[in-house]
Structure 1
Amino acid sequence: MKIHVAPIAPNPRRVLWVMAEKEISDIEVETYNLGEGRHKQVGYLRKAGLPVLPMLELDDGTAITESLAICRYLESRWPEPNLFGTTPEETAVIEMWTRRAEMNVAIPLMVGVRHTFPPLAALEKQDPVIGAFNLETGTEGLKILDRQLGRTEWLAGDRFSIADIVAFIGLDFARLVKVRPPETHKHLIRWVEVMRARPAAATSARQPA
Structure 2
Amino acid sequence: MKLYETHRAPNPRRLRIFLAEKSIDLATLETIELDLAAGDNLSDDFRAMNPMGGVPVLELDDGRHLSESMAICRYFEALYPEPALLGRAPEEQAFIDMWNRRMEFHLLLPVAMAFRHLTGHFADREAVFPDYGRDRAVAAGQMFDFLDRHLGEQTYIAGAEYSVADITALVAVDFARVVDLRIGDARPQLAAWHERVLARDSAGA
What is the TM-score when the length of structure 2 is the normalising length? 0.92
State which drifts further: 74-83 or 119-128: 119-128
Aligned partners of 2:125 and 2:79: how far apart in 1?
34
- Find the counterpart in structure 2 of residue 189 from structure 1: 191
> Per-residue CA shift, 1:59-101, capped at 9, x if unaligned?
1122111111111111111212210001111111111111111
SS at 1:36 equivalent: coil
Number of equivalent positions: 203
The 5 A counterparts of 1:25-104 are: 25=25, 26-104=28-106
- Find the counterpart in structure 2 of residue 134 from structure 1: 136
State which drifts further: 175-184 or 94-103: 175-184
State which drifts further: 124-133 or 185-194: 124-133
Aligned partners of 1:156 and 1:51: how far apart in 2?
30
- Find the counterpart in structure 1 of residue 117 from structure 2: 115
- Find the counterpart in structure 2 of residue 177 from structure 1: 179
Aligned partners of 1:119 and 1:35: how far apart in 2?
7
Aligned partners of 2:192 and 2:142: how far apart in 1?
18
Aligned partners of 2:181 and 2:113: how far apart in 1?
13
Aligned partners of 1:147 and 1:100: how far apart in 2?
15
SS at 2:32 equivalent: strand
The 5 A counterparts of 1:154-165 are: 154-165=156-167
> What amino acid is aligned across from residue 87 of structure 1 in structure 2?
A
- Find the counterpart in structure 2 of residue 12 from structure 1: 12
Higher relative contact order (CA 8 A, sep 6+): 1
> Per-residue CA shift, 1:133-152, capped at 9, x if unaligned?
10111111122212221111
SS at 1:140 equivalent: helix
CA contact (8 A) 1:35 1:123 kept: no
1:166 counterpart = 2:154 = no
Aligned partners of 2:124 and 2:14: how far apart in 1?
23
Structure 2 runs not aligned, ≥5 long: none
Aligned partners of 1:199 and 1:115: how far apart in 2?
33
SS at 2:160 equivalent: coil
Aligned partners of 1:116 and 1:161: how far apart in 2?
31
What is the TM-score when the length of structure 1 is the normalising length? 0.91
SS at 2:37 equivalent: helix
SS at 1:139 equivalent: helix
SS at 2:8 equivalent: coil
> Per-residue CA shift, 1:168-198, capped at 9, x if unaligned?
1111101112101242221101011112212
1:20 positional shift: 1.4
Q: What is the percent sequence identity of the aligned residues?
A: 37
CA contact (8 A) 2:107 2:169 kept: yes
Change (3 A) 1:100 1:49: same
Aligned partners of 1:24 and 1:31: how far apart in 2?
19
Task: Tell me which stretches of 4 or more aligned residues in structure 1 moved more than 6 Å.
Answer: none
